[in-house]
Amino acid sequence: MTEDASAKKGLAAIKGTRDILPGEVEKWQALEGLARTTFELYGFRELRAPVFEATELFEKGTGSTSDVVTKEMYTFTDKGGRSITLRPEYTPSVARAIIEHRLDLEGAPMRYYYMGPMFRYDKPQKGRYRQFHQVDIEVFGEKDAAVDAEIIEMAHALLDKLGVTGTETLVNSVGCRACRPAYGAALREAAAKRKDELCADCQRKAETNPLRIFDCKVDACREAAASFPSIQDYLCEECREHFGKLLDGLDVLKIPYRVDPRLVRGLDYYTKTTFEIVASGLGAQNALLGGGRYDDMMKDFGGPDICGTGFAMGIERVLAVAALAPPERKILYLAYLGDKAKKAGLELARFFRANGVECLVEYKDRGMKAHFGRANKLQAAWVLIVGDNELRSGRFGLKDMASGRQFDGPREDLLALILKR
Ligand code: HAM
């Protein structure tokens, strides 16, 4: 069915979601494989949490003044009357899992990674989807700014392997509960002076959480916000020192960065470090990944007082700028002639597959010419010919489709030949 026809019948994918089809999915698999091997080199282990959680988890974690919670959550009441939300991000789920399973008592490094879908009801556009996918990493129990530098370097290591170039790393500190109130007051005062220029949303934010004004996309609000005081001038001694150590760590690791005092990030939980890696050529949605420190989340959840830091990378956005070559596939196409050969083909295919060769059998009866036509279309590397004579003698014909050369021999010899190439 064409896309149009299925849309009319109401069977099209929901706006803001998309299918990842063969041909494209290989790039996803390559990215996921490289992410896995990279993170494990840094001591991370996978932690898989559910796709939906109690709504309260995100209200408390992601934050009740964030756009994500106020506007973008997929929330519904389930049949048991509970308010459920499809996770808009992963960080609160990991914190919850640690508390629930007391992973902090196990003594293992609390370094976790995960890859999977997230859901946000935002206006779909290039690089922004309602179901999108993140690669997420989180570290718990490490206060030192060195670990923030380490994970930023790890993000770069992965982006390098993915062939992503032309990025810029932005860093900032958003302070802590000790120094942010004074900054909030200064922002409120600055916002009050330019109240008439701010959109209704930002006028409200000025009251609830003035830091959120920096997230606004409205030009007039951005212009006004550019004149607001910088958080860098309000950091307490501890936060200033922590930020200095982060920059030292990045210098040691030779990661170029730009300090951006407006980088407050859209989620409420950040303390001290925030960072983003942005890409040129991606338009408005240019953040490949973003993250930072959230030292109060666990405590606020009623769990142990354990700090956290991490980031999430948007898979769709990274793949849009990655240079990943599709993996080479070497298909052995099995061409049989007649019913007896078809049956024997089943067993032969099993033999080749058991020895690591991708083998394709199609059950529609074809003549030899049609088999070769089909093998060509599928870009098969090899064709194995199975007919009555071959079955009697136990020797089969094998054609190398690239060179056109034909070989003949028992299956073990042909397997050795295929594996050698
Ligand atoms: P975030 O900045 O909301 O952070 O999302 C991280 C990344 O996910 C973005 O930089 C972007 O690449 C991708 N992304 C976000 N929304 C969309 C969307 N609608 N469509 C496509 N891609 C999107 C977080 O989610 C935090 N949990 C990161 C974190 C982990 N902080 C500490 N630990």
Which of 317, 318, 319, 321 to probe ligand 1 with, by most ligand atoms within 8 A of CB? 317
What are the pocket residues of ligand 1 if the criterion is a CB atom closer than 6 Å to any ligand atom? 89-91, 120, 122, 127-129, 132, 134, 136, 138, 266-267, 287-292, 310-312, 314, 316-317
Quickly state the pLDDT bin for 216 (edges 50, 70, 90).
confident
Whole-model pTM: value is: 0.93
Residue nearest ligand 1's atom 14 by CA = 314
Which of 73, 126, 134, 276 to probe ligand 1 with, by most ligand atoms within 8 A of CB? 134
Quickly state the pLDDT bin for 8 (edges 50, 70, 90).
low
- Ligand 1 centre from 306 Cα, in Å? 22
Whether the per-residue pLDDT at 275 is higher than 50: the answer is: yes
Whether the per-residue pLDDT at 274 is higher than 80: the answer is: yes
Residue 259's DSSP bridge partners are 171
Mean pLDDT of 228-245: 97
- Ligand 1 centre from 278 Cα, in Å? 12
Q: What are 324-341's pLDDT values in tens digits?
A: 988 888 999 999 999 999
Residue 284: what pLDDT? 80
Whether the per-residue pLDDT at 182 is higher than 90: the answer is: yes
Residue 328: what pLDDT? 85
Q: What is the CA radius of gyration of the chain?
A: 28
Whether the per-residue pLDDT at 409 is higher than 50: the answer is: yes
Residue nearest ligand 1's atom 2 by CA = 290
Q: What are 52-97's pLDDT values in tens digits?
A: 999 999 999 999 988 999 999 999 999 999 999 999 999 999 999 9
- Ligand 1 centre from 318 Cα, in Å? 12
Whether the per-residue pLDDT at 165 is higher than 80: the answer is: yes
- Ligand 1 centre from 390 Cα, in Å? 58
- Ligand 1 centre from 312 Cα, in Å? 5
Q: What are 358-389's pLDDT values in tens digits?
A: 999 999 999 999 999 999 999 999 999 999 99
- Ligand 1 centre from 314 Cα, in Å? 6
Whether the per-residue pLDDT at 1 is higher than 50: the answer is: no
Which of 73, 132, 162 to probe ligand 1 with, by most ligand atoms within 8 A of CB? 132
